[in-house]
Amino acid sequence: MNEVIKELEKSNIGKVEKDVFLSKYTTYKTGGLAKCIVYPKEVEALIQTIKILKRNNIRYKILGNGSNLLFSDKVYEGVLIKLSELDKVEFVNNKIYVEAGFPIIKLSHLAAKRSLTGLEFASGIPGTVGGAVFMNAGAYKSDMGYITREVTVLTPDLKIITLENKEMNFHYRTSFLKTHPDYICLSVMIRLEKGNKSAIEKVIKDRRKRRIASQPLEYPSAGSVFRNPKDMFAGQLIEELGLKGLKKGGAMVSDKHANFIINKDNASSKDIKELIDYVKEKVKEKYKVELKVEQEFVNWE
Q: Identify the CATH number of the domain in which residue 61 sits.
A: 3.30.43.10
Measured CA to CA in angstroms, residue 49 lies from 62, 80, 84, 141, 300 at distances of 12, 11, 15, 38, 24
CATH code for position 268: 3.90.78.10
Q: Which of 301, 265, 297 is nearest to 22 (CA)?
A: 297
Q: Does residue 120 contact residue 202 with C-beta atoms inside 8 Å?
A: no
Q: Does residue 44 contact residue 1 with C-beta atoms inside 8 Å?
A: no
Same-domain status, 57 and 115 = no
Query: Domain for residue 211, yes or no?
Result: no
Residue 103 carries which side chain, given as an amino acid letter? P
Same-domain status, 14 and 108 = no
- In angstroms, the CA 257 to CA 240 distance is 12
Same-domain status, 137 and 173 = yes
Composition of the chain by helix, strand, coil, percent to 5: 35, 30, 40
Domain tally for the chain?
Answer: 3
Query: Domain for residue 178, yes or no?
Result: yes
Query: Domain for residue 177, yes or no?
Result: yes
Same-domain status, 107 and 145 = yes
pLDDT in tens, the chain (301 residues): 999 999 999 999 999 999 999 999 999 999 999 999 999 999 999 999 999 999 999 999 999 999 999 999 999 999 999 999 999 999 999 999 999 999 999 999 999 999 999 999 999 999 999 999 999 999 888 999 999 999 999 999 999 999 999 999 999 999 999 999 999 999 999 999 999 999 999 999 999 999 999 999 999 999 999 999 999 999 999 999 999 999 999 999 999 999 999 999 999 999 999 999 999 999 999 999 999 999 999 999 9
Residue 232 carries which side chain, given as an amino acid letter? M
- What is the domain extent for residue 75? 2-82
Query: Domain for residue 179, yes or no?
Result: yes
C-alpha gyration radius of the chain: 20
Q: Which of 184, 114, 171, 97 is nearest to 138 (CA)?
A: 171
Same-domain status, 196 and 225 = no
Same-domain status, 99 and 175 = yes
Query: Domain for residue 210, yes or no?
Result: no
CATH code for position 170: 3.30.465.10
Q: Which of 58, 39, 48 is nearest to 11 (CA)?
A: 48
Residues with catalytic roles = 173, 224, 294
- In angstroms, the CA 228 to CA 289 distance is 11
Domain closes at, from 37, 64, 82: 82
- In angstroms, the CA 154 to CA 152 distance is 7
Domain closes at, from 41, 58, 82: 82
